[in-house]
Structure formats: C-alpha cells, structure tokens
Structure 1
Amino acid sequence: MTDAGSSGLRAFRDPGSLAVVGASGNPAKWGYWLATGALRGRHRRRVELVNRRGGELLGTRCAPDLRALDRPPELVALCVPPGEVAGVVEDGLAIGVRGFLGITAGVPGETRLAERIRAAGARLLGANSLGLYDAATELQLAWGAFTPGPLAIVSQSGQLGSELAILGARSGLGISRFVSIGNQSDVRAAELLADLAEHEPTRAVAVYLESFTGAEALFDSLATLRASGRPVLLLTIGAATASSRLARSHTGSLTSRLDVVDAACRRAGVIRVDTPAELVDTVRTLLTAPVPAGNRVAVVGDSGGQCGIAADQATATGLGVPAFPSGLAGELGAALPSGAATANPVDLAGAGEQDLGSYADTVERALRAESVDAAVLTGYFGRYTADVPELKAAEQAVAERLGALARRYGKPVLAHSMAEPVALEETLWQNGVPAFGEVRSAVRALAAAARCREPLPRAEIPLPEPVTGAVRGYWRARELVSAHGIPVPRARLVRTRAELRAAAERLRAPFVLKAGWFAHKSEAGAVAVGLPDAGAAAVEFERMYAALGAGDYVLEEQDRRPDVVELLIGVRREPGFGPVLTLGHGGTETELRADIAVELAPVSAETALAMLGRLRCAPLLDGWRGRPGVDRHAVARIASAVSRIGAANPRMTELELNPVRAAADGALAVDAVAEFTDSPEQQETRAEEPPCPHGH
C-alpha cells in the first residue's frame, strides 16, 4: 500500500519482517494458521513466532515476547486473549513496530488503543479482522488457503470475505489480495481500496461493507479504482432500513439507505450486487466477455417457453428486450423454419437440431444490429455432447464461434444451458461465453455487466453563496427558493386580521391560507385551499388562529392550472454521504406511492431529466389519456437548483418542495420546508429568547 508519510500501510502489504504473537501448533487455533501462513513467505521476509512458553513450534524457535526479539518486526499479528492485547501493543511500540494486525475481537478500550498506536506513528488493521493475503508478495496471515488470481477482496465481514474467496476458487477465480478490515478502529476501507489502483495483479475488486462512515472518501477511492479500468463490485446490507424513522419530511421517510448507496455507486461507476454468488458470477462475466455498451438484449433459444422466461427475467433485472427492426426480423425469418419467432425473443423452432451452426448464425445476425448490445442464448445448447457424443466436435466448434463473435462485435454473448456445470466450463466458459445452469443467474450477471461503464466525469456545477441567518418556517423557505430562481405563487405574510384583509386585496382569488410553522400542514389542520374570496379567507384565518395560535400565516394565490402533475423535490444531508437529491411523485400521498429517484447532489438539469425518466409516474409527465405533457425541463431546472442549494449550505439538513405542480407551461413550488442547524451566533441568540408555545 502506498506510503504516505507516517501512515505505514506498506506493513500490511509487503512487510520486510513480521511476528505472529500467539503462535500455536494446534491446527484448531488461529495462532496455527497465522504462523503457518507467515512461514510460507519466509524466503521473502524475516518471520518470528512469539509464544509466552517459548520453545519451538512448526520447526521454528519461539520468543516468549516481542522484547526478546533481536530486531523489531515491521508487522505484528495479534492473536492473544483480549485482555493481553494492550500489553503486546505497548511492547511492540517500545521496540519500533510499524503495523499491528488485530485478529482478536472484544479488545477492552479498543478505540483508545487505536489512538495510542496512531499517536506513536504506527497503524492498526482491525481489530476483529480475519486477516490478510497478498498473492504478489506471498503474504498470508489468515485462516484457510487462497488460490492466486485476479480478484481483490476488501471485506468488513471476514467470514463473508472468505465465502467470496471460496466461491471464486470453485469457479476458477483466484485472489490477488484479501483484506478483512474488521472494526476499522484505525485503518479504514478507503485507504486500503485507494492502493489497489496500483496493484498490478488485481483486475477486479469486490467490496463488502456494512457501514459507510466517511462515505465520500470511500467512494472517491472506488471511483479512482474504477477509473484505473478495474470493475468494482459492492455488496452490502440494509435494503429495508430507512435513513430516518423519525424524519419530519417525505424526503427523509422515503429514502432508504440503499437508495443513497446506489446513488453513490452510480456516480463512482460501481456495481452493487445482492449476493456473494451474484458478485462472483458478475466478476467472471466481466473478465471473460466484453462489457455491453447498453442494456438492449437479443434472446435466442430453442424453446418458446425458455425464451419467454429469459425475456421476463431480463426485463425484471432492468435489461431491455426490444422488438427487432423489420429488416432483421425478415432476415431471420428467411433463415429459420416457418414456425420460428423472429421479433425478439427468437425461437429457433427446431433449427438447432437440424444444424447446430444455426445457433451461431442467429446470434451473429442479432449482434450485427445496432439496436442490440448483447445476446443471451437459452435452452439446450451445451448439452448435445452429453446426450449425443458424436456431436461433441460440432458443438465445440459452435461454442468457439460464439466466443469469436462476441470479440468481433465487442458485444457479450451469455448462455443459459441445460448442460452439467463441467460441460459448461469446457464448452462455453473456456471459449469466452459466460454460461449458467439457471437463466436468472445469466441475466443478472449481464444486467450487472451493463452497469459497468466508466463513471461519468463530474461536471463542474456552480454553487450559489451559502445562506446566512436563520431559515425558519414556510415564509423564509419561500424566500430562499425564490431567490434561487425557483417559481413560487404570489403570496403575503400575515399575522393579524388587518394584514389578512390587506393581503387579500392585493392577491387574486381563489386563495390558500397556511400556518407557516408546520412541516405537515394537512395533518395539523394548518392549511385551507380553494378559498373563493377575502371573506372566506378571513373566516378560515379566525378558525386557524383560534386552534393554532399566533404565528406567521401565509396567504397565497392558488395554482388553478389544469392537467397538473404534483412532484416532490428535496435535498437531504445524509451522514457520511453529504447532500442527496430526491425527486418523486408528490402530493399528500407521496409516501403511499413511494415513487422516487435519488442522486448525490449537486446535479445538472440533464441528470435531473434522467431522474424523471426513472419514475413510475413518468408516463403522466408525457401526457396521459389525451392530457398534455408537462414541461420536464422546468422541473429539471428546479431540481438542479434545489440540489445546488443543498450542496452550497453545510448547515442545511433538509430542503423539501412538496408539491411542485408541473404543467405544460412550467412548474411551480407551492410548499417548502427548510431545516438548518443554527450557527454558533444563532444558538447564542436563541438561548436568550423566551420559549415559544407553538414551537416556531
């Protein structure tokens, strides 16, 4: 790992010397595996074993403690009972150890111990780590055995990392580097990942994380890795965990942890997968076949049922199975039997049985089309050799041709086959065609590969000046967004009956009256709409005033435009990730619809347009059942402005516009909620203010 001053991370990659404290000769103990692994690399580095009983283990003399060594080791693996770790660390620091690998879990005062190590100019990996391995430097300090290969694994869960390594080995996918980061008491995942950009044996990176503290630095490291040409795959948990169960806004209650992680992945060019098996399948696919330029898939098979299931599965994973252009469909129809389906999916209707070459012929015709980015072959191919041995040479020749076609056109060909796993390896994988015994695995691997494109360059999006002063209540939130070019209805701030009458004379009915200090006004009876005249507004003001008390009321002109779609646009500061933009179907039923798109802020108007396209309600925006479409560009400009406000204001925890009423002639934000943390000066002022009975 790249050294940076006193960081000392080199000790965890290629130490010049190391010591295993707690070495054992018992194969059932951690000390045995650490010691035997370390000794395998003793031709590259000096290896010391430490056991308080001294003597000899594994043919090597043991020292009773670190202070008894002739020379200090660069790295020390800590495999002693929790209560003894601190003492071993102090001995190591006293003799000049630069790195500690903490295997032991449950170390008392672990945080303070990590601070002590760092203050002394050394580093700690762990504690509660399952160890590390580097194929290039022949460093192994972990349980089990590793097969060298192209995949690097950085895992917060040691055992899950081991599962990835085992699954990879079963699939012929070895490991270039393995690091179990454990509790990250000192060395963090971002540091370890940043170094892999220069690790020559690594061709792909697998990451498992449960927590995303310091996510901005972490995803910067992942983006750097991706920019180096290595695919990066992330596995995590928490799909059902809301970012804030007690969030005041729709933005906070709708956004899940994975929504934010996915947004960070998109910006960094990282592929998120759901299971260890999917991760290994995807890595193998990416290292075997070309990366698709898009998500348009041709499905080819020798069974209508299997073709249909493959198409359904592809669509469910986000791939497209578009109908072929008439020219391609006609070409296929001329080449295949009369009963063949040729529009996509393509059912060969027995052509494969008559001539095995028709599989490759059909796939080639599809790959030649500009409207196709990849092909999935589903069904019997791959099994002919097992059932009809005389066809082995012919089937092998077709498999070789399929791989050659993928390389020639730069488009992947994946297969789902009824063949046995060994046959798939021999017939398809070895020829550059990723093949699976279950169709869902094939299309999920392809869908993940389709997301493996270079991260888009981050456009320089200018930010406004930060907001000064307090931002409390609806009126101030209106002023804030209006000052940044976001359209709002004409309105007046009113606190008394006289001010209400004066405001009604200057505005056009019908009116909306709001008690501006409520975030969710409908639930509190703090909003009245459709007030036809000043008299009705006065009656409603009297009712609200009696029920809710004095405060900042707002009288607005009601938006009366027809064919409006209500949207939500909000930005929220997520711990570790920074500002996150949420765009979704809005109104009072926002949470019921749960139709949102999420990206890290700030975003351009172009990105906001793409977010609108991801919503389930997108057809409403284009016009539904004869209604006119809305001005998407106006909505996108508002979304971009909201994202820039959030990115420019570190004190802003949340800004939400709901609803934004979008119509053919533009968009209007008719409600807004802003949450800012107080500056030190404001906190001091608020401390001197008497408490307000209504909380505003």
Structure 2
Amino acid sequence: MSFPQAFVDPSSVAVVGATEDRAKWGHWLATGALAGAGRRQVWLVNRRAAQVLGQPCRATVGDLPGTPDLVALCVPPENVLPVVRDALAKGCRAFLAITAGLGADEAELAALLRESGARMIGPNSLGLFNAATQLRLTWGDFTPGRLAIVSQSGQLGSEIAGLGARAGLGVSRFCSVGNQLDVGAADVLESLVADEHTTTVALYLESFADGARIVTALDALRRAGKHALLLTTGASEGSRRLARSHTGSMTSALDVVDAACRAAGALRVATPRELVDAARVLDATAPPGGRRVAIISDSGGQGGIAADLAAGRGLRAPVFTDRLQAGLRALLPATAAVSNPVDLAGAGEADLQVYAWVTELVAASGEVDSIVLSGYLGRYGEDTPSLVDAESAVIDRLGRLGRLGRGHRTDAARVPLIVHSMSASSPAVTRLREHRVPVFDTIDAALGALGHVTRLGGQPRPAPMTVRTGAAAPTPGYWAARTFLTALGIAMPEARRVTDAAGFAEACASLRPPLVLKAGWIEHKSEHQAVRTGLGPDTATAVFREMYGRLGPGEYVVEEQDTRPGVVEMLIGARRDRDLGPTVTVGHGGVHAELWRDVSLELAPVDRRTAAGMLDRLRSRRLLDGWRGQPAVDLDALIDAIVAVSEAIAATSGVADIEVNPIRVGPEGALAVDALVVSSTASTASTASTAEAVPETTGVNGHRKPTEEQEISREHVH
C-alpha cells in the first residue's frame, strides 16, 4: 500500500489522550497539532476533560463532528485496540501510535489494520514532523531545514535533530517509525523521493527487514539528487547463521550493509555526531569529485596535524605544481610553505585578505578536489573588535566561493571549502554558516566530515544489470556443484565420479596424474581427511581403499591436479542474506583464507567494473599483478568468474550459498578446484539445528558424518 498523504499533510487531526499536563505526551501532541490549526482541522479527545488548552474535548473519536484524516494515539496500552476500533468505525484510515508496550495486542492490531486497509506509524513512535505542512505531532519542536530524519529509535532521531539544530542544520521532516507494525522505514523513504524540501536524509535502523526495498528506496533518493546517510548497529546479524561456507564466516553483517550502501549510493556513519557533521557539509556543497585535498593553515603545527588526519581518512594532499607554488609565493612571505599543506607564515595577520586570495588561487588551479582552511580565522574579531569588519569582508569572499562550489559544477572554482576555526560561535563563524560554508571547531571533525562526503561522491554507481535466467538448484554433493559451476562457464579440472574400487581404477587409467581424490558428499573436506592430493599410479589404489574403509560407501570424485606454475589461489563466495538479498564475495583463498580474512563484498549481481573494484580493495591485490618475479595472472578470467557466480546467486532462488575455494588463477586462465553449493532447503535446516545437536547427523547424500562438520571454522585444500 502507498504512503498516505495523511502522514504528510493531513486535512484534519485528532489527538486522543490530549491533556493539560506538560509532563505527558498528550500535552505535546495537542500543542503541536494546534500549532497547525491554521492549515487543518484539529480535534482533541479526552474522556475526563471537557476542555484542553482552551479547546473543547470529546470523549471518543466516535463523538467527533467529522472523520479525522489522521488519529494520534497517546493512551494506555490496553486502550489502543478499543480506540482504533472506534476510529475505524468512524472511517479513519491513518494512525500515529505513540503508545508502547502493547504486547500480545500488537498481532491483533496488525490484523485489524490489514483487514480495514488502514495504515499506522508505530506503536512506540516518537512522532511526526513536517516543516512545510506545519505538522507537528511529537515531543518538543524542530528547527526547519533540509534534513529529513527517519529513525527506528525515536530518541536517537531526536538526538540527531538536536545536534543538527546546534550546528545550524534544520529538519524538513521527522518520522519515528517505532516498532514498524505496519508503516516501515521503506515507506517513509519512498515518500521522501519527491519531497522538494528535503536534500539529505538521515536514516537510523536497527534491523533491515524489507531490506531490498530499503536499498531500492535509497537508490531512488540518489537518483532524485538527494543524499542518504545511514546510522545502524550490527544490523542483519542473524543472516550470518545461514552461511555454511568459509565466506560466510569471514564477512560481518555490517559488510553486507556497507555493500548495500554502495549499491544505493548511500553512506554509513558510526555515530550521530558523524552523521550530523557529514549532513552539514552536504547541506552546503556537493560531494568532492575526488580525494585530492588542499590544506591551508596559519599554523605549521595545525597544518601538519590536518595532513596526518586527512591521510587517515582516505584523503590525499598532493604536492602542488611549480606553477601553483609560484603563484602562492607571490602572495606569501619567503618563509611560507607552499607545497601543500600551505602555511601562511603570518601573512594572514598582516592582511586578512590573504586567506581569501590563497583559497581562491588554489580553488581555481584545478589541482585539488576540496580545500580545508584551518586555524585562527573566525576568531580575529572575537579577540580584537577592531578587526570585525575586515574579517567579515574575508568571510563574504569565502562565501561567494562556496556558492560557486554549490551551483556551478563546470566552473573552475567549484571546489568545496571546509573551514576549521578556533572559535565555536563567534559572529564570524555565524557569518560563515549564513553563507552555508561548513565550519567546525575541531580539525578532526572537519576532516572526518570531508572524508565521509568524499567517499560518498567517489562511490561508483553500478550499471543496471540484466541477470541471465538462473539454473536449477543443484542436488547435494561436490559432483553436482561441479556441474552447476561448469554450466556457468567456470573451468574445473578433468574429473570422474566413482563409487567403488573398479570404477576408481578405470578413472585413474583415463586421467593424467597427479590426481586428487575427494569424498564428494562431505562439504568441508580437509578437517575430515576427505581429500588426498598428489596421487600417482603407485599410491592411488591404497589411498582409495583407506579412505573408503574409513568413510564408507558414497560418491567419490577423482580429478586431475592443477600443477600450473605461477598461480594465485583466490576464493569466490556468494550467499543470500536474509534481509538484503544476494551477495558476492571475493578474496584471498586456499587453506589460509580464514587466517588472512582478506575479502571484499558487494550485493549481487555485479558487473565487470564492480568486480574489478572488489579486487582492487584486497590487500592481496598485488599478487595478481605479479609479485617477486611471478607473472601477472589472467584477471579477465577471474572477473568473469566473479560475475558468473554473482549472477547465479541472484537468479537461482533455490541456492543459499556458493563457494569456490580455491579458484587457482594463473597467466593462462582460472581453474576452480573445489566448490560447495548449498540449497536454500539445506541451509534452512542447518539454521534450525542448535549447539546441542545429536552426536551425529545425516550427510548430504544420506551417509553419516561427524557433528564437528557443522563448526564455523573450516579449511579447504585442493
């Protein structure tokens, strides 16, 4: 169902539980509702009062002279269901439920809303606010602005609004979704796409139920020219329990959330302060087009610290060209540093206009993507009143530079400017904010915000993908996994499937040694001694007899061993996250994969550009280009395999988990030498088991296998 207009600009509002008591929610909701009485009809409901805040009260919603477009509930939990029934009978179809602690009544309430086609925000909501439509149904008030706040935690959303207000950042809309019994975060995000009063969205979530829809909504916000900032805890952690592969144990829930942010063009931050700091920059300027930053300071010490912090936040302070350095020398004393960072060496104190001259020259150079101006500017007039006018004139010039950065993307002076001032609240700092120049009172906050928004601006946008029709989910076992992967175009060694000694001897005669023997039904083979490598004519028969005697009858696989020189062992994994859908992972593979834990993850499917970017993020990336005299490997073959696995997990609904580990990549191509494909049914069954499982459990083809196979930590060998 669509997001009702009643939650945006209702024609009438009823506050049930209105009261004169300022310590109660009913007072704040009634006061806020009446503040918008010039735009809409407001009715107050209270069983025990004939009048509240000078306005008449009715005992029930049914007694109202009309049908409210929106009903706000702040009544005891036991009264919520009766009030909703009364309102539904009156014809009401939109509810805001502040009340918490409904317990078992929540299920009945959800069914009642569903049957009647009504919508509800909450229960356990902190309320609604819309500056443009004069809708205020929440505790306290908000400063109007361009930041929309959508929060699963009402109080945390309120904290974000408060931090923003103290930093000069106002709120366009506020929605505390509470328990999300009906209306969820995705509904609210979708309603913000066309909201002309919102430029940035702050989102706090503790879980990602309906996650795919949330990602789609965040992407729609990006396409509409709005920025989304996400604050979360360890969301979607439960999905890790679905993974039975190495890959699942090497990635965290937040890895999946970060991949979702990259796919949608959103940015995850760690704290409310970080969110507000990034929002302040985005409210003033577009994200920088790259990581090159100029640092201009009136103190060598402050400039040096800024340079160190910039590097730690993924920014780069490049050495200026000789031409730009010559231009700076013409403005500054001989003792000034002009290579980047720039130290004004007292020139600013001699003539405050130097701050503007230097900043304008650097901005117009085309050599940087952003500028940080750090130090005493903003405090001159505060300490020396006679300098107020001169300082204001400099700030006005910097303000004009900031406007160019916001409005003229093709102009040479479009470089975003961030100011760190030693004053927190001087008239000069206030004037900077009036010009919408982001100003911070600590350099770490300034560079932290710049680092975040630079990362947002530099995220590649995945191209729209058309997923090829998925293959049927394979039956259990390694041989079926081989068949599944070769159908995707992933090369695997020549192999034979055998079940007895005669078949094994026949297979050995048709394959080129050395050979590998595997017990195909065991998922992770090395810890159960279910794989043996390097077999030749003299050893193969004895090894098969020993393994068969120990593990019993089953489906064994004999393969030609990959002995190519100059290979790098990688892994490719894919799994279906419970909340956010299919994902793909690539990393350093082999028996030490979990030791190095060098992986990168994206939502699936991925295109070739995104797959290449995943490889670029790995610490082991240089191995692929040739290391210590080794040849470069066939990157195209590896990228093809990543794309193919990502498409397979996205298109094959019956598959929960795919792991190719290792895939051995050499100069002549990539060869997958071990694989695991888990069906959705098998994964669900595994999740349902507990740590107190029976001593042994049935294997994937009906054979018995030890309980330790279910352990999280596992190793692969060839």
Q: TM-score range by the shorter chain?
A: over 0.9
Moved more, 167-176 or 386-395: 386-395
Pick one of 690, 704, 715 that aligns with 1:693: 704
Pick one of 399, 412, 420 that aligns with 2:416: 412
Please say if residues 99 and 122 of structure 1, whose CA atoms lie closer than 8 Å, have aligned partners that are also in contact: yes
How far the C-alpha of 1:274 sits from its partner, in A, is 1.4
Q: Over residues 145-186 of structure 1, what are the superposed CA-to-partner deviations in whole Å (9 max), with x where a residue is unaligned?
A: 122222111111110111111111112222211111111111
Question: Alignment partner of 2:193: what SS?
Answer: helix
Moved more, 225-234 or 381-390: 381-390
CA distance in 2, matches of 1:131, 1:527: 60
Where does residue 714 of structure 2 map in the other structure? Answer: none
Where does residue 296 of structure 1 map in the other structure? Answer: 292
Please say if residues 243 and 256 of structure 1, whose CA atoms lie closer than 8 Å, have aligned partners that are also in contact: no
TM-score (norm 1): 0.92
Are the structure 2 counterparts of residues 354 and 635 from structure 1 closer, same or farther at C-alpha, using a change threshold of 3 Å? farther
CA distance in 1, matches of 2:361, 2:331: 10
Where does residue 163 of structure 2 map in the other structure? Answer: 167
Pick one of 256, 259, 266 that aligns with 2:252: 256
Q: Over residues 100-131 of structure 1, what are the superposed CA-to-partner deviations in whole Å (9 max), with x where a residue is unaligned?
A: 11111111321221221221121111111111
CA distance in 1, matches of 2:512, 2:643: 30
Question: Alignment partner of 1:534: what SS?
Answer: coil
Please say if residues 80 and 104 of structure 1, whose CA atoms lie closer than 8 Å, have aligned partners that are also in contact: yes
Question: Alignment partner of 1:421: what SS?
Answer: coil
Please say if residues 242 and 254 of structure 1, whose CA atoms lie closer than 8 Å, have aligned partners that are also in contact: no
How far the C-alpha of 1:616 sits from its partner, in A, is 1.6
Pick one of 14, 17, 20 that aligns with 2:9: 14
CA distance in 2, matches of 1:529, 1:341: 62
Where does residue 399 of structure 1 map in the other structure? Answer: 395
Residues 1:24 and 2:19 aligned together? yes
Question: Alignment partner of 1:451: what SS?
Answer: helix
Where does residue 524 of structure 1 map in the other structure? Answer: 528
CA distance in 2, matches of 1:23, 1:381: 50
Are the structure 2 counterparts of residues 512 and 67 from structure 1 closer, same or farther at C-alpha, using a change threshold of 3 Å? same
Pick one of 71, 75, 79 that aligns with 1:80: 75
Where does residue 155 of structure 1 map in the other structure? Answer: 151
CA distance in 2, matches of 1:326, 1:564: 44
How far the C-alpha of 1:486 sits from its partner, in A, is 0.9
CA distance in 1, matches of 2:115, 2:98: 21
Q: Over residues 516-573 of structure 1, what are the superposed CA-to-partner deviations in whole Å (9 max), with x where a residue is unaligned?
A: 2222222221222233x12222232223222222222222222223332221111111
CA distance in 1, matches of 2:293, 2:679: 47
1:623-642 equivalences in 2 (<5 Å): 623-642=626-645
Are the structure 2 counterparts of residues 351 and 547 from structure 1 closer, same or farther at C-alpha, using a change threshold of 3 Å? farther
Where does residue 487 of structure 1 map in the other structure? Answer: 491
Residues 1:185 and 2:181 aligned together? yes
Moved more, 162-171 or 450-459: 450-459
Question: Alignment partner of 2:558: what SS?
Answer: strand
CA distance in 1, matches of 2:339, 2:511: 59
CA distance in 1, matches of 2:428, 2:658: 54
Question: Alignment partner of 2:426: what SS?
Answer: helix
1:350-429 equivalences in 2 (<5 Å): 350-406=346-402, 407=404, 409-423=413-427, 425-426=429-430, 428-429=432-433
Where does residue 139 of structure 1 map in the other structure? Answer: 135
Moved more, 107-116 or 160-169: 107-116
Where does residue 124 of structure 2 map in the other structure? Answer: 128
Where does residue 561 of structure 1 map in the other structure? Answer: 564
CA distance in 2, matches of 1:506, 1:271: 55
1:426-575 equivalences in 2 (<5 Å): 426=430, 428-453=432-457, 459-468=463-472, 470-531=474-535, 533-575=536-578
Q: Over residues 586-639 of structure 1, what are the superposed CA-to-partner deviations in whole Å (9 max), with x where a residue is unaligned?
A: 222222222221111111111100111111222222222333332222211110
Where does residue 682 of structure 1 map in the other structure? Answer: none
Higher RCO (CA 8 Å, separation ≥ 6 residues): 2
Pick one of 265, 288, 303 that aligns with 1:307: 303
Q: Over residues 440-495 of structure 1, what are the superposed CA-to-partner deviations in whole Å (9 max), with x where a residue is unaligned?
A: 21112112222344986653434333223643111211111111111212222222
Question: Alignment partner of 1:584: what SS?
Answer: strand
Are the structure 2 counterparts of residues 234 and 591 from structure 1 closer, same or farther at C-alpha, using a change threshold of 3 Å? same
How far the C-alpha of 1:99 sits from its partner, in A, is 1.0
Moved more, 550-559 or 74-83: 550-559
Q: What's the Cα RMSD here?
A: 2.6
Are the structure 2 counterparts of residues 339 and 468 from structure 1 closer, same or farther at C-alpha, using a change threshold of 3 Å? same
Residues 1:668 and 2:663 aligned together? no
How far the C-alpha of 1:405 sits from its partner, in A, is 3.5
CA distance in 1, matches of 2:300, 2:602: 39
CA distance in 1, matches of 2:662, 2:367: 38
CA distance in 2, matches of 1:78, 1:341: 63
CA distance in 2, matches of 1:577, 1:81: 36
Identity of aligned residues (%): 51
Moved more, 245-254 or 259-268: 245-254
1:276-287 equivalences in 2 (<5 Å): 276-287=272-283
Are the structure 2 counterparts of residues 385 and 43 from structure 1 closer, same or farther at C-alpha, using a change threshold of 3 Å? closer
CA distance in 2, matches of 1:551, 1:337: 83
CA distance in 2, matches of 1:540, 1:534: 11
Gaps of 5+ in 2: 405-410, 683-697, 710-718
Are the structure 2 counterparts of residues 8 and 523 from structure 1 closer, same or farther at C-alpha, using a change threshold of 3 Å? closer
Please say if residues 472 and 654 of structure 2, whose CA atoms lie closer than 8 Å, have aligned partners that are also in contact: no
Please say if residues 127 and 175 of structure 2, whose CA atoms lie closer than 8 Å, have aligned partners that are also in contact: yes
Paired residue total: 683
Are the structure 2 counterparts of residues 505 and 401 from structure 1 closer, same or farther at C-alpha, using a change threshold of 3 Å? farther
TM-score (norm 2): 0.89
Where does residue 683 of structure 1 map in the other structure? Answer: none
Gaps of 5+ in 1: 680-686
Question: Alignment partner of 2:543: what SS?
Answer: helix
Question: Alignment partner of 2:391: what SS?
Answer: helix
Please say if residues 43 and 57 of structure 2, whose CA atoms lie closer than 8 Å, have aligned partners that are also in contact: yes
Q: Over residues 317-358 of structure 1, what are the superposed CA-to-partner deviations in whole Å (9 max), with x where a residue is unaligned?
A: 222333444554565466655554444333344444444444
Please say if residues 474 and 677 of structure 2, whose CA atoms lie closer than 8 Å, have aligned partners that are also in contact: no
CA distance in 1, matches of 2:238, 2:379: 46
Are the structure 2 counterparts of residues 502 and 255 from structure 1 closer, same or farther at C-alpha, using a change threshold of 3 Å? same
Are the structure 2 counterparts of residues 645 and 8 from structure 1 closer, same or farther at C-alpha, using a change threshold of 3 Å? closer
Please say if residues 41 and 138 of structure 1, whose CA atoms lie closer than 8 Å, have aligned partners that are also in contact: yes
CA distance in 2, matches of 1:351, 1:510: 75
CA distance in 1, matches of 2:236, 2:216: 26
CA distance in 1, matches of 2:524, 2:128: 51
Residue type matched to 1:402 in 2? L
Q: Over residues 72-91 of structure 1, what are the superposed CA-to-partner deviations in whole Å (9 max), with x where a residue is unaligned?
A: 22221111111111111111
CA distance in 1, matches of 2:481, 2:440: 55
Question: Alignment partner of 2:609: what SS?
Answer: helix
Residues 1:92 and 2:95 aligned together? no
CA distance in 2, matches of 1:565, 1:594: 16
CA distance in 1, matches of 2:196, 2:365: 36
How far the C-alpha of 1:28 sits from its partner, in A, is 0.4
How far the C-alpha of 1:671 sits from its partner, in A, is 1.1
Question: Alignment partner of 1:321: what SS?
Answer: coil
Q: Over residues 38-65 of structure 1, what are the superposed CA-to-partner deviations in whole Å (9 max), with x where a residue is unaligned?
A: 1112222222211111421111121111
CA distance in 2, matches of 1:273, 1:556: 48
CA distance in 2, matches of 1:119, 1:70: 25
Residue type matched to 1:562 in 2? P
